Structure 1
Amino acid sequence: MNRNFISSACKFLSLVFVFAFLSFTSNAQDISTEPAAISAGEALFNANCKACHRVKTQLVGPALQDVYNRAPSIDWIKSFVKNSSGVIASGDDYANKLYNQYNKTQMTAFSSFKDEDIMNILAYVKAETEKKEDAKKVPTPTPGQSDGGGVSSTYLNVILGGMLLILVLLLVILGFLVSALKRFLDQKELSEEDKEIVNSPITFGSVTRSSGFIFIVVFLCGSLGFKAVINGLYSVGVQQGYAPKQPIAFSHKIHAGQMEIDCKYCHVGVMKGKSATIPSVNICMNCHNQIKAGTQTGEGEIAKITAAWENKKPIEWVRIHNLPDLAYFNHSQHVNVAGVECQTCHGPIETMDVVRQHSLLTMGWCIDCHRKTDVNTKGNAYYDKLVELHNKSKKTPMKVEDEGGLECSKCHY
C-alpha cells in the first residue's frame, strides 16, 4: 500500500512539474522558428512597429526582446496589440503598469491584424532576441534610376557636335582646295582682271560679307535655336529636381535614415492602393506624444505638428511628385506585387533633408524601366504558364514588356 501511495505521489508531482514547466515555456515554444514566418514578421514589424519599437533598445515604447516571456501570455499580447486601450481600461495590472511607465502613451490599435500576423511578428522578435550581436552593417541604398539631362538632349548634343565637326572638316578641305587652285592658276597666263581676282587679299570684311560665311552663321544659329526648342519641348511637364518649401520642415534624413522608420509606416496606402498617401497628423503624434522638443515654448517644427493636432487641422503639405491625369500609376502593384523599392523611383530618400523629385517620371523613363526590369516570378503560380511560353521563344529572362508592360492601356484608359 505504501509502495502504491509513493508511486502515485511521484506520478502526481511529475505531472505538476511538467505542467508548470510547460506553462512557463509555452509562450516561447508556440512561436514559430520557420524562416517564412520570421521573414513575414520582419516585414510587418518594419511597416507597423519600427516607428516606436526596437527589439533590443528602447525607443518611444519598450524594447521587445523576450516580450513573449515577460508578458502574461501570448493571448494577452494578441489582445493588447489589437486593442491596447481596451486591455488597459479592463484594469489589467500589467497593461496599466506599462501605460504608466511610458507616460500614459496610448499604443496604436492594430485591429486588422490576424493572430497569424502577431505570431509572425513574435517569431521575428524571438529570432532577433536570440541573434548574436553582429558588426553594424551600413545599408547600401538602392540607386535611383535617373537619366539626368534626358536621352533626347544627349542625342541632340551628339548630332549637333557631329554636324559642327563635319563643318570644320569641310572648311579645312575647302582651304586646301583654294590653296591648290591658286598655285595652279599662278602657273597660267591670265588676264589682268583675272589676276586681280586671284591675287585679291583675304580681309575680315571680305570674309564676313561672303555668302559662305553668312551661310555658316545662319546654320549655327538655326541649329542652336532648334536644339533649344527641342529641349524646351522635352522639358514640358518634367519637374525633376523640384523641391518646394513645406509648411513643416520634415527631414526624411532623420526619420527614414537615422531613426530607420519604414516608409510604409507613414505612407500607409503604398501596399494596398494607387496612392502612397500623405501621412495624417495622427501618425505623426504616435511618436510626438513622447518626443516634444520645443512644444512648451511653441517654437520649432514639432510645435507646429502639436498645434495642428490640437486645432484638428490637417497639415497642408505641398505635393512634389505629380503625374498628369492622363497617366495611371498604382503604388501597390509596384511595391506590393513587384517588390520595387521606394528608392528605385524616389532616389536615396533616407539621405534627404528636403525631399526633391529625383527621377524624370516621364513616359520614356517608365517605358525604359519596363524594358529593362526582370519580372519576379519565383513562388507565384500566376506566372508559371507565362514563363513556360516565354522560355519557348526566348532565352533571356522575362521582362515587364514581355507580359504587356508596354501596352498603351496599361497606363492610359
Structure 2
Amino acid sequence: MSIKRSLLSVPLRISTLAMVLFLMIGAQAFAAHPDVSDSEEAIAAGKTLFNANCKTCHKLDQKYTGPALRGVTERRTIDWAKNFIKNSSALIASGDAQAVAIYKEFNNLAMPSHTFLSDTDLENLLSYIEYGDKGSSDAEASAGEGSEASSGGSGVPSEYLTIIISVMVVVLLLILIVLGLIISVLTKYLNNQNLDEDEKEFINQKFDFGKILKSDAFVIIVTALVIALVAKTAIDGLYSVGIQQGYAPKQPIAFSHQLHAGQYEIECQYCHTGVELGKSANIPSANICMNCHTHIQNVEGKDGISPEIQKIYNAVENNEPIEWVRIHNLPDLAYFNHAQHVAVGGIDCQTCHGQIQEMEVVHQHSSLTMGWCIDCHRQTNINTAGNEYYDKLVQLHSDSKNALKVKDIGGLECAKCHY
C-alpha cells in the first residue's frame, strides 16, 4: 500500500512543479521591457503622438488596418521598432525579413514615413504603445465593435489567444512525456526490488488507451470541444455579415488616386463636389475629368491616347455616364451626412477613408460598423472656438474636467443616425 501511495503521488508532485515553472516562464515572457519608460509623462506624450500619427491605421490590442501594436518591444528589438516607425519603406527595401513579412501580410500597404519624429518622440510613442490605455479606451471601443472580422474586441486579440492555447497544449504534452519517462524508470527500478505478487501486478499493469477512448468522459469532452468550435465559427460568421472592410472592386476606368490625389495633390473636394454641401460626396461626372484632360496632352500611349483616357472621351461624346462601382455602402436604415462631418466637424477624408492619396486602387479602409461610428463619437472632441452655437453647451459642460465630445451633444442618440 505504501508503494501505491508513493507512486500515485509522483505525477501530482511533478505536474505541480512543472506548472510552477511554466507560470514563472510565462511571467518572465510577459514582463515589461526594461528599456521602455512607464512614467505618466512619457505615456501622455506618446498618446498625443499616437493619436496624431498612428490612430487612423492602428489599435493597441487589436488588428486593424495595421497590426496590433502592444507588445512590439517584446516581439522586436527597440532599434528595429524605431527604424520601422521612422521609415518602413526603407526597411522593406533593405530586405529585412520581418519588415517584408508585415508588408506582405497587409496587402503590400506601406506605412507612411515619420522621419520628423525625434528619438525621444519614438521612445514616448513606444511607452504609450506598451503601457497606455490598458482596459479603458479599447474596452469602450469593443462595446460596439463585435462585428470586426478579425477579433473579438475584448482586450486580447484572438490570434494571441490562439498562440497562448497552443503553447499551453505543447507544455502539457511535454509534461505528459516527462511523466511517462519518470514512471518508466520507476517501474524498472521497483521491479528489481523484493515485492509481493499484488505489488508487482499493480506496478506492471498496462495502460489501456482504447478503454479511455471509449469512456463516457472522453466522449463528453470531445463532443463539448466540437460544439464549442462550431459555435465560435458560426458566431464569427454572423458578426462578419455585411462587413466589407478591404473591399476593392474593379472599376470601369483604372483611375489612380495615388496619381491624382497623391502625386498631383488634387483636393478631394474638387472631384467630390458634394462632400461639403450635402449628404453624399458625389461621384464625379466625366465632365469634371475633362476639365483637366481637355488641356492635358501628355497622357498618351504608344498609339495615341491611352485606352483608359479614351473611355472618358467616349462617355462625353456619347453623353453616357461612367458606371463606377460603389465601394462604401451603408445599410438603408443608417443616415450619414458628409457635410455635417466635413464642413462642420472638420473631419479629414483620411479619418474614415484611410490614406486615399496613397491608394492605386481604392478599398474600403474602415469597417463602417455601428460600433466604429459610436467609438468615434465617444473619442472626438468638439471644436467650439469661435462658434456661438456651442456657447451654452460649453457653459453647461464647464463642470466636467473632460473636453466636450460628440457624445455630449447627442452623438449617441439613436435618432441621429437612424430614421
Q: TM-score, normalised by structure 2?
A: 0.55
Does residue 281 of structure 1 match 2:286?
A: yes
For structure 1, list consecutive stretches of 5 or more residues without a partner in the other structure: 1-139
C-alpha change, 1:300 and 1:218, in structure 2 (3 Å) is same
Q: Secondary structure at the match of 1:302?
A: helix
Aligned match of 1:234: 239
The structure-2 alpha-carbon separation of the partners of 1:267 and 1:202, relative to structure 1 and needing over 3 Å to count, comes to: same
Find the residue that maps to 2:365 and give its secondary structure: coil
Distance 1:411 1:347, change over 3 A: same
Which of 332, 336, 342 aligns to 2:339? It is 332
Identity %: 55
1:306 aligns with 2:218: no
Stretch of structure 1 that moved more, 396-405 or 245-254: 396-405
Task: State whether structure 2 residue 182 is matched by structure 1 residue 270.
Answer: no
User: Counterparts of 2:279 and 2:370 in 1: how far apart (Å)?
Assistant: 18
| Cα pair 1:160 1:223 within 8 Å, conserved | no
The equivalent residue for 1:408 is 414
Structure 2 residue 360 is the aligned partner of structure 1 residue 353: yes
Asked if 1:364 is matched to 2:276, the reply is no
Q: Does 1:390 align with 2:397?
A: yes
Change (3 A) 1:270 1:319: same
Over 3 Å counting, the alpha-carbon distance change for 1:142 and 1:275 in structure 2 is: farther
- Cα deviation for residue 401 of structure 1 reads 0.8
* Contact 2:150-2:158 within 8 A present in 1 as well: no
Cα contact 1:145–1:345 (8 A) shared by 2: no
Paired AA for residue 382 in structure 1: Y
Instruction: Please give the per-residue CA displacement for 1:239-268, whole angstroms capped at 9, x wherever unaligned.
Output: 000000000000000000000000000000
Which moved further from structure 2: 396-405 or 246-255?
A: 396-405
How many Å apart are 1:398 and its aligned residue? 1.2
Q: How far apart in 2 are the matches of 1:300 and 1:378?
A: 50
Q: 1:157 to 1:217 in 2, by over 3 A?
A: farther
1:151/1:385 CA distance change after superposition, 3 Å = farther
Number of residue pairs aligned between Structure 1 and Structure 2: 270
User: Residues 34-73 of structure 1 correspond to what in structure 2 (within 5 A)?
Assistant: none
Displacement of 1:409 in angstroms is 0.6
Query: Which residue identity is paired with 1:310?
Result: E
- From 214, 219, 231, the equivalent of 2:219 is 214
1:251-270 correspondence to structure 2 within 5 Å: 251-270=256-275
- Contact 1:271–1:335 under 8 Å retained in 2: yes
CA distance in structure 2 between the partners assigned to 1:263 and 1:290 by the alignment: 20
**How far apart are the structure 2 equivalents of 1:356 and 1:325?**
21
The residue correspondences of 1:41-190 to structure 2 (distance < 5 A) are 144-145=56-57, 147-148=64-65, 149-152=149-152
> For structure 1, which segment, 325-334 or 157-166, has the greater mean C-alpha deviation from structure 2 after superposition?
157-166
Letter in 2 for 1:343: Q
Distance 2:246 2:220 in 1: 39
What's the counterpart of residue 24 of structure 1? none
> Could you tell me which residue of structure 1 aligns to residue 135 of structure 2?
none
Residue deviations 1:89-119 (CA, integer Å, cap 9, x gap):
xxxxxxxxxxxxxxxxxxxxxxxxxxxxxxx
Alignment partners' CA distance in 1, 2:340 and 2:254: 30
**Aligned counterpart, 2:384:** 377
| d(CA) in 1 for partners of 2:216, 2:230 | 21
Report SS of the residue matched to 1:248. coil
SS in 2 for 1:232: helix
Per-residue deviation at 1:403? 1.1
1:214 Cα deviation from its structure 2 partner: 3.1
Amino acid at match of 2:362: V
1:328/1:318 CA distance change after superposition, 3 Å: same
- Structure 2 letter corresponding to 1:260: E
The CA distance in 2 between the partners of 1:161 and 1:196, in whole Å, is 43
Q: Is the 8 Å Cα contact of residues 143 and 344 (structure 1) preserved in structure 2? A: no
Q: Normalising to structure 1: TM-score of the pair?
A: 0.56
Can you list the C-alpha shifts for 1:170-213, whole angstroms capped at 9, x where unaligned? 99999999999xx9xx9xx9996x98678532254344334443
**Measured at CA, do residues 350 and 381 of structure 1 come closer, stay the same or move farther in structure 2, by a change above 3 Å?**
same
Task: Give the gaps of 5 or more residues in structure 2.
Answer: 1-51, 59-63, 66-148
Q: Distance in 2 between matches of 1:251 and 1:223?
A: 46
The separation in 1 between residues aligned to 2:231 and 2:168, in whole angstroms, is 18
SS in 1 for 2:412: coil
1:294 to 275, 290, 300: 300
CA RMSD across the alignment: 3.8
Deviation at 1:222, TM superposition (A): 2.5
Amino acid at match of 2:402: T
Q: 1:166 to 1:387 in 2, by over 3 A?
A: farther
Q: Deviations over 1:318-342 (max 9, x none)?
A: 0000100010000000000000000
Aligned-residue offset at 1:298: 5.5
Q: CA deviation at 1:169?
A: 9.3
User: For residue 324 of structure 2, what is the aligned residue in structure 1?
Assistant: 317
CA contact (8 A) 1:238 1:362 kept: yes
Contact 1:142 1:343 (C-alpha < 8 Å) held by counterparts: no
Deviations 1:344-392 (A, max 9, x none): 0000000011000011000011111111111111111111111121121
